[in-house]
A and B are shown apart, each in its own frame.
Chain A
Amino acid sequence: MPETTAKPWGETKFVGKPIPRVDGYERVSGTAEYPSDVVLPNMLHAAILRCPHGQAQVKRVDLAKAREMPGVRAVLSDADKEAQIPWYAPPGSPGSTGSPTASRLFDPHCRFEGEEIAAVAAETPQQAWDAVRAIRAEYNVLPSVVDMEEALKPGAPAVQESGNRWGAPRETKRGDVAQGFAEADVVLEETYRTSCEIHTPSEIHGSVVRWDGDHLTVWDTNQGPFGIQAPLAAAMSLPLSKVRVISHYMGGGFGSKLNLGKYTVIAAVLARKTGRPVRLFLTREESFRAVGNRPAHIMKLKAGVKKDGTLTALQLTGLGEVGAYPAGTSVGYQVGDLYRCPNVLISESQAFINAGPNRAFRAPGFPQCSWALEQMMDALAEKIGMDPVEFRIKNYSAVCQMQQNKPYTSAGLRECLTEGARAFNWKDARLRSKGSGPWVRGVGVAAGMWGSQSGPPSTVRVSLYPDGSASLNMGAADLGTGTKTVMALVVAEELGVPLDRIQIENADTGTTEFTRPSGGSKTVFADSPAVRSAALEVKARVLEMAAAQLKLPVTDLAFQEGAIVAQGGTRKLAVRELTQLRAQQVVVGVGVRGPDPVDKVVRPFVAQFAEVEVNIRTGETRVLRLVAAHDSGRVMDLLTYRSQVIGGLTMGIGFALTERRIMDAVTGKMANANCHDYKIPTAKDVPADKTVIPIDLHDTECNTTGTKGIGEPATIPTAAAIANAFYHATGIRITAAPITPANVLTLLEERRKRG
């Protein structure tokens, strides 16, 4: 038997080089077909009527006028039998999301502005919206609460009948914090706040659906079609074999497109009702309210340190807002794991408010935690007179404290900090004059880690054809992270087939095999080993064929750059010369993701450095440059790796400086549900000077490609590094994000009044 077990790569020919994307042409020419570009013959357009109140009971929905509107082919509301589909299922029921109360597709109790009331399908989108506006809905408007601290006060309006606290506080405990604080030379305590951030991918959420008999096909913009297929099959009471979800291209998700949306189910029901394909894409305004967010957090952090820089205790009390239905984001992980600390107490609570439920958002919980922890680390370092980089190097943990001190498969935080500091010119930059005003400058650092999730399952097929070209068949979507390119590089590396001779089929439950959707920076981590395994199987089968043809033992043969080479390099056989392959026309390798290591923990690490300038007259803050040093294991494609980091940094700038949801406390409605008032960074808000430093420690244990995931780590400490740089520039700790001129000026005024 030829060897099919993957040995760690030595020097690579394709992997790790800066290779332009295999689908670059499609993405820049406008020919890539995103789900929102799919047009089917005879397709109808749908639109949704949503609750305009913070909380309300629907009294009556009068669809009569809407039904009569031009072009209308179907209307749908809670009165329709086919709309009686459970949603936010309570514990014990199928597909439970842990919701205290059962709800359904068009539930008459609307717990946030934007909950679905009714839907229309019509010949044109304009007609669909005309009809939605013709629906007369009457509401019993209920009191609402949109602030998590208010929600937990006695007498607050009930979001959920069982109470606005979601579950009991979750505690993680190690050692004895009281004793740890007693041993400390310095104890600091601070309350940090982060704002609610909205994903706002460029392509808005939506689906195009078509029935063929009882088979349902859905073009949906998501992060992996298998994450949509199963819940959709359950909602429509269909077997998996009758639900096909396709998402070849998608216009960004950042965590908000891991879930099945009500819109997909509504479109499916309308399509069945009308016997026509239906397109239902949300408007930007709808997407701000109804398809997820990164919840705001309040984090009280207390920390003790000895004069020599030894941490003695960390205590985090966190409160997060869930939205109106259970979702929830934990923020405590890094407090318990990033730095060596014998005494840790993490206590987290979550509150329901009358707003859209949160969804996973690029490293859920981690940028929030970094905002608190990394600012606290800076404050501690200052108190004991230690350099912030040195302080972190002294304290980073080489073992996973959250998992019984298991070792990591690789841990490059020290290298991230030292290499990053060197590239940033940290020591000199800290000493340089801050300027005399009104613009003052400063530098900051923040470290972080991501709590990677597990790899399996993933099944991938690789096929080799008699002309030497190949195909790669995998379930993973390409969110723009470069997944297709990276996986093709693995095939190229193993089989020597150039990228332009590899055809890729992906992200289609009808034609590819299962993998979990892309979230948690898991795609390369989970799927590239499966691709490698499939390619290795192809290689093995080819060598078997060659051995039979050449009448040589398989162990004497090698497969190199698309050809079979005998020992000593004397005899060569091109793939096209393999008679058995010509006879069967294809050789297929099926690869599966092997298990994760049992005794070790896989974690990516990061250190980022920021330089900012702040106008102390006007409160404006500008990020001048950023350095990001990442240990995410092996770099698969240097170009797309850098792009992911650059993107993460940009998102971190938004989290730090401009982004926040504004909820109106009186009405319970969102005030800034548009792309003008909700401010995503523009080209004028980011520095051109962004340096990405990959730290590759050649991890041979995390998986067979040595990869740990880069998408999320890239944005974890960015905002905290900016906040620390802001402090260095101004001497003001800005504990509440974002760092807007309003917040800055308020703090500057307070300082001025204090004298």
Chain B
Amino acid sequence: MLSQFSYQRAASIKEAAEAASRPDVRILAGGTDLLGCLRNQVLQANRLVSLNGLSALKGIRQGPGGGLRLGALTTLTEIAEHRQILDSYSVLAQAAASVGSPQLRNQGTLGGNLCQRPRCWYFRGDFKCRRKGGDTCFAEGGDSQLHCIFGGASCYMVHPSDTAPALVALDAKVSITGRRGTRLVPLSSFFVLPADSLVKETVLQPGEIVTEILLDPPQPGARSAYRKVRERGAFDFALAGAAIVVAMAEGKVRTARVVLSGVAPVPWRSTDAEKTIIGKPLDAAVAVAAAAAAVKGASPLADNGYKVPLVRGILEETLTALAA
């Protein structure tokens, strides 16, 4: 049951940013993540500031030179069904289509998907973990089957977003507005590791709001895909996944981005895997080598060792499929 809060429908981004700079205020977009957190007392709020009156944050617009500008309030359904995204940024369309359920995609927004809180069952449950001001990461001594194999320290959450790895793979930028103005951050620098913060998952400062996601024009010869492995077909986050964007030239990989989901507290870019494929033809042998490179340095916990072969399997399969 939700506790009391007051409600404010922001009339402008500036007003929303002003209001949201207070620690007891939360920004409401689609609500699918926030209301769950409030219901289970994971978060508290005295006031919700709704962005839903701000049409400037809605919809998909053409960017300079053939790119796209995705308003933060664009729903995941709109992303998944947008003709140009399906054609030119299929990794993103596939990632958006893999989120939750049709209803959650109709309601959930792209901005919200990037800013959602961890799905760790200890964080969401009635456990006072480090990320909620406690002194324990319950995954360390508890059940860690869904936790991270990369980037963990003091907290072993995985980042739950499917669209984030896709956007990192597309080298997207995120436009952030706060009281002091607007800044543009590459999505690859948007998320923070537990080593940098145990209370937040992004670089957003109090009062800052994600307003837009910017996609560069698609590279010539680009191919992309998102592959997600989960326990059931809907209502599920990735056990592991991979967002891959490659640009081919003369039968060889010219540029590549390989970003993993479900394995680290942030979308996990594997530059080792990228290096393995760049300059080579995309074939089965290269896929196997890249997959092996991607899991180097993985440090599984007690229950999630399976994620190492899983990542390998996903990359072998997806890179091979992209070659076809």
- A675→B143 contact, CB < 8 A: no
Contact in complex: A676, B232 (CB < 8 Å): no
A283 to B305, CA, bound (A): 34
Q: Whole-angstrom distance from the CB of A131 to the nearest CB of chain B?
A: 11
Is A742 within 8 A of B145, CB to CB?
Answer: yes
Chain B CB within 8 A of A665 CB: yes
Question: Are A741 and B310 in contact (CB-based, < 8 A)?
Answer: yes
Tell me if B306 counts as interface (CB < 8 A to partner A): yes
Closest to B239 in A: A741
Question: Which residues of the other chain, B, contact A47 by a CB distance below 8 angstroms?
Answer: 1
Asked if A741 contacts B229 (CB within 8 A), the reply is: yes
B135 an interface residue at 8 Å Cβ cutoff?
no
**Quick check: is A677 within 8 A (CB to CB) of the other chain?**
yes
Task: State the Cβ distance, A683 to closest chain B Cβ, in Å.
Answer: 7
Q: Which chain B positions have C-beta within 8 A of A585? A: none
Total number of B residues with any Cβ neighbor in A under 8 Å: 38
Shortest distance in angstroms between B117's beta carbon and chain A's nearest beta carbon?
Answer: 13
Is the CB of A98 closer than 8 A to any CB of chain B? Answer: no
Structural contact, A681 and B232, CB atoms closer than 8 A:
yes
A-B residue pair count with CB separations less than 8 angstroms? 113
Give A745 to B303 CA distance when docked, in angstroms: 12
* A618 with B310: CB separation less than 8 A: yes
**Is B78's beta carbon under 8 Å from chain A?**
no
> What is the size category of the interface that chain A forms with chain B?
35 or more
| A669-B127 in contact given A683-B234, A685-B233, A742-B145 (Cβ < 8 Å) | yes
Residues of B close to A615: CB separation below 8 A: 313, 317
Among B101, B125, B239, B304, find the residue whose CB has the most chain A CB atoms closer than 10 A: B125
A641 at the interface (CB under 8 A from B): no
Q: Which residues from 249 to 288 on chain B have a C-beta closer than 8 Å to any C-beta of chain A?
A: none
Q: What 0/1 pattern do residues 227 to 257 of B give for CB contact below 8 A with A?
A: 0010111111001000000000000000000
Contact B127 A748 (CB under 8 A): no
Inter-subunit contact A682/B235 (CB<8 Å) = yes
Q: Which stretch from A122-130, A332-340, A356-364 is at the chain B interface?
A: A122-130
Q: Complex: how many Å from CA A675 to CA B40?
A: 13
Residue numbers in A under 8 Å from B121 (CB-CB): 662, 671-672, 677
Among candidates B40, B126, B304, B310, residue contacting A619 with C-beta atoms closer than 8 Å? B310
CA distance A674 to B122 in the complex (A): 12
Given contacts A617-B314, A618-B314, A667-B127, contact A745 B141 (CB under 8 A): no
For chain A, residues 262 to 299, give those with C-beta under 8 angstroms from any C-beta of chain B: 283, 285
Given A669-B127, A671-B125, are A662 and B143 also a contact pair (CB < 8 Å)?
yes
CB-nearest residue of chain B to A742: B306
List residues of chain B with CB within 8 A of the CB of A133: 3, 41
Residues from chain B with a CB closer than 8 A to the CB of A684 are 232-234
Q: Is B2 an interface residue (CB 8 A)?
A: yes
Scan A122-162; emit 1 where CB is below 8 A from any B CB, else 0.
00011001100100000000000000000000000000000
A664 to B119, CA, bound (A): 16
Chain B residues with CB under 8 Å of A741's CB are 229, 231, 239, 306, 310
Interfacial residues of chain A within 719-754, with CB under 8 A of chain B in the complex: 740-743, 745-746, 748-749
A664-B127 in contact given A618-B313, A745-B309, A745-B310 (Cβ < 8 Å): yes
Contact indicator per residue, chain A 305-340, by CB within 8 Å of chain B (1) or not (0): 000000000000000000000000000000000000
Distance in angstroms between the alpha carbons of A683 and B236 in the assembled complex: 13
B23 at the interface (CB under 8 A from A): no
Cβ distance A636 to chain B, nearest Cβ, rounded Å: 33
Contact B317 A618 (CB under 8 A): yes
In chain A, positions 668-697 with a C-beta closer than 8 Å to chain B are 669-677, 679, 681-685
Whether the pair B127, A438 counts as a contact (CB closer than 8 A) is no
CB contacts (< 8 Å) of B234 on chain A: these are 682-684
* Chain B residues close to A by CB (< 8 Å): 1-4, 40-41, 101, 119, 121-122, 124-127, 138, 141-143, 145, 229, 231-236, 239, 303-306, 309-310, 312-314, 316-317
Q: Can you pick out 9 interface pairs between chain A and chain B where the beta carbons lie within 8 Å of each other?
A: A129-B1, A133-B41, A615-B317, A662-B143, A665-B143, A671-B122, A676-B235, A745-B309, A748-B309
